[in-house]
Amino acid sequence: MGYRKLADAIVLQAVEDYRYAIGVLSTKDMNKEMVYAAQNMKRGCEYFFRSQFYGELTSISPDAIMQEVKDGVRNAIIPIYDNEKQQYFCICENLIHKSTIKGKAPVIRCKFCGRYIRAHGELLNTDV
């Protein structure tokens, strides 16, 4: 059973890395080093998703995963900021921790409803 958790963790990390890379590449005002690193990360993730190793870890379609991430980033929402409480909220009305919004990831995912949230910046390229 431990191998299943490890396999799932490997796939989930690749999905998170891919989401981060797509988020950076779709966000305005990213520096050249971040864009270059994100391009490399995106290529690496796509290579992994199409590898035989990935196929041994899961039966989930790599195309479905990549498309879901791209769609999620493309349709990411802006968090709601409550001035009175000085806190960020998802549209599902659940609290988003400030450190998550102020972190390096341009797009995060609500742990309650699963919506993608644009933490900072504006969409630049929706064809990533």
The H-assigned helical ranges of the chain are 2-25, 32-49, 52-57, 62-74, 98-101
Q: Is the pTM of this model over 0.85?
A: no
Going from N- to C-terminal start, the domains of the chain cover 2-118
- Mapping DSSP to helix (H, G, I), strand (E, B) and coil, where does residue 96 land? strand
Contact (Cβ atoms closer than 8 angstroms) between residue 92 and residue 113: yes
pLDDT of residue 121: 56
Q: Block means of pLDDT (10 residues each) for the chain, length 128 residues?
A: 89 94 83 90 98 96 94 86 85 80 77 82 54
